[in-house]
Each structure stands twice: as structure tokens, then as C-alpha cells.
Amino acid sequence: MTTRPPTPSRRTLLRALTALPASALVLGELPGLLGTAEAAAPTSGHATRYTIVPFLNSDDGTVNVYQSDDAADFRLLQSSAYTPPSNRIRDASIFKHANGYYYLTYTTHTWEDVSTTIGFARSADRVNWTFLYDYPVPITDLSRAWAPEWFVDSDGSVNVIVSCSTTDDEWIFTPYVLTATNSALTAWSSPVALSGIGSNHIDTYIVKVGSTYHAFTKNETAKYIEYGTAASLKGPYAISRTGDWAGWGSYREGPSVVQLDNGGWRIFFDGYGDGTYYYSDSYDTFATWSTPTALPTLSGTARHFTVIKEAVTGGASVTKNATRSFQSANYTTRYWEEQSALLNLPVVTGSSTAADKQAATFTVVAGLADSNGYSFRDASGNYLRHYDFRGRFDANDGTTTFAQDATFIARTGTTSGSVRFESYNYPGHYLRHYNYQLRVSLTDGTDLFRQDSSFVPVTSWA
């Protein structure tokens, strides 16, 4: 028996990121991004937005729309946002077209039924959807056309990857590509099988990085998500990772991959075998992955979805190269204060000592690891960083690890003017007060967590 190497720590994965050539982070394709690189914190006046449109474990006749600014804490935007006029909606994939509209493509029938069409719908705002048409996939003796996924190539061509089976063996699926032949997405090329992936693979999801196409596809026999690469969208793909190669386990399906603000990659997948939706991160172009984490609030509710990422106007920002104090959004008499080199949340008032007021005052500067992010400096020149998940102040030692530990991405808080600070190198982890101590903690998707991690930048005490 071969023993799989231990799952690498997130810090090990992040060190791998720093060793990558810049070309490895040039994004050739992601649905909705149309060939642009998305590997930096949002600029001032902008925010990152991730959108998913899952069907529900309890109802495959409609879909909800959720959005997130960190690809971990998804919040409901619209329930029952789209219900097709007939049939079902499963495995919905979303992307934003060059014409400004959002499009869905989806499976039109339940898994028990013959399903020879895929559906299409359109929206201007992700909330109000219009049915377009059901498209009969033109494959002789087609039995089922499942899990269509948008893929926009770096040349701008719009494609759908769809898993199809024929009547001679209705449960053996092969991935095919359809290419739009007009900008209205109403006409499609003849289906072409993706060479090299082979039969009995379903839910194939493609990401292009540089000139290489990366395929994540479920082996329907082994129930593992496999991985392969090709120099062309249509292949041939060389499947190089099989079995439990990434440590995700079996009975996993519906992979969707998106790039995070810090340049890493996050895969989402449906752990239908245990009723949990998971995500896992990679910082070495898909070679190794972090231990799967359950997606908060949506596990057991949402099923098979695609994630798209956009940069939108708005978002949180803090004035840089200025001194500020940071007031808790839900304990308004308490402020960040450095105490014995640790960041705590004591009460600070006008009658506090001059030393306390100085310790509650910080200089906001551009992020050491990403200038669009934020770093915080105390009066002695030490920087706020996380260490063993505790907020503390240390001298900058010039290492990449320190720079990442001391960089935070601003996300919108729960109250007007408040900001949440997400760890740059631990995505989904936020500066959060607990027992009046500041720690970097993984979001659990609750309102209380969001409140505890929201702070208002105010005029400095000193």
C-alpha cells in the first residue's frame, strides 16, 4: 500500500506561491473574467465579488443566488431567483458575457430521467432572470446531457463543456465542448469530445493558466476528482492525478475553480457522499492542496454550482499614510490597543492615560505583500501581524512570510463605515475579537462572527 504524503500546511503552500514565476499567475481564462488577471487585492473604490447560483438539496426546481466578498462567507442575494418554465434546474453554471449580461446554463431534468437538452437563461442584475431556451444537444442516440459548464477562452470564444451519455450505456459519460457561433449565444458548433479524458468522466471543469488548459473531472467509477492538462481546449488531455491525489476524498463532484485575491486558487466541490460542500486551496498551480474545509452555512443546502469572480465598484477602504484608531463595531467603547506587543480590545475613553491612547493609535500603510491591501504600524515602527493566529506587533524582518502575515485585505463590515480585515495569506480568516483579544480566525458564516470582526476606523486617540 502506498501512503499519501501528509497534506501540506497553508503556510507551506503559500511559500510555494512566492517561488512561482510571474507567468504562472497570468490567468488565461476564468468564466466571467474573459482573460484578465485577478491576483491582487481590490483597488480603492472597488470590491471583489463572488457569485454562485446553486440548486437546493431540497428542491431542484429553482435556484438561489448567493454572493461573497471572500469566497468563503456566501450570503443570500435572492431566493428562488430563477425557476424555469418547465422541467428542472440542476448544476447551474454562471458567467458574465462581454455584452454585460449574466448567463446561466443548466441540466434540465432530474438524474432519473432522460435529459437531452441543456437550458439557458439571462439576467442583467443576477436577481431577475429570463428563460431563453432549452437546447437539444445534437448527439446521436443521446440519453443524458448533464452539468454544462461555461468556459470563456483567452481569445474571447464562449464555450460550454457538457457531460453526455448515449442510450447504449446511459451512465457512461464523456465530456464534450460546444462553441458559440454568434454573440447572442443562440447558435452552437457541433459537439466535440474532449480528447484524452475518456469515457466515464463527468462534471469536467476547465481553467486556463497561461497557455495550458487544466481539467478537473470526476471519475464516475472511482468517485474521485481527477486532474489533467492539455495544450488545446479540445485536448488531448493527459490525466496525471487520479485516486485521492489531493486529499479531498471520494464521492466528490461538481468541481469549480477560481483565483483568489492573493493569487492562490480555490476549488469548490460537492461532497454529496457526506452532505458537505467543501473548498480547498492551492498555491503551486494545482500540485498540492490544503485540507478541505466545509463551506459555512451552505453545506447540506446548496448543490453543484459554479463560482464566478468580478471586481465591482464600492467596497471598504481606509485612508493610507494616516493615523487611525479602530473601534469595535459591536462593543463601541472598546478599541484596538497594543498591550505587551499583543493586540487587544480594551475600553479606551477620553480619560484614558496618554500611554493607552498612544497604544490605541496606528499608522495605516500600504500592505507589505500587496499595496492594494493594508498594514498597520505602531508608534515604535513595529507591524501588526498574525503569529499562531494571534494579533501581535513585531519588527519587519524583510521576509516574504512576514510581509504576508502583516497584510490584510479590507472587506465591508456590518455597520456603516466599518471594515473587516481579512488575512492576506489565510483567506477567509479575519481579525476578530474574542475575550477582548484580537485573533485571526476562520469565518463561520454567522452574523456574530461578522460583527466581532467589524471595526470602524476613527480619528486617532493620539
pLDDT at 20 over 70: no
Burial call 240-255: b when 16+ CB within 10 Å, e when fewer: ebeeebbbbbeebbbb
Residue 399, pLDDT above cutoff 90: yes
**Average pLDDT of the chain to the nearest whole number:** 92
> What does the pLDDT look like over 367-392, one tens digit per residue?
999 999 999 999 999 999 999 999 99
pLDDT, one tens digit per residue, over 175-207 is 999 999 999 999 999 999 999 998 899 999 999
- The CA distance from 214 to 443, in Å, is 29
For residue 280 the three cell numbers come to 480547498
pLDDT reported for residue 198:
86
CB atoms within 10 A of CB 24: 14
d(Cα 3, Cα 16) in Å, to the nearest integer? 23
Q: State percent of the chain over pLDDT 90.
A: 89
Model confidence at 18, pLDDT cuts 50, 70, 90, reads very low
Q: What are phi and psi of 355, to 5 degrees?
A: -65, -40
Dist. CA 180–CA 150, nearest whole Å: 11
Q: What is the Cα–Cα distance from 51 to 309, expressed in whole angstroms? A: 7
What pLDDT was estimated at residue 11? 40
For residue 437, CA distances in Å to 238, 272, 404 come to: 50, 38, 21
pLDDT at residue 420 above 60? Answer: yes
- 204-249 per-position pLDDT tens digit: 999 999 999 999 999 999 999 999 999 999 999 999 999 999 999 9
Position with higher pLDDT, 38 vs 354: 354
Higher pLDDT, 34 or 302: 302
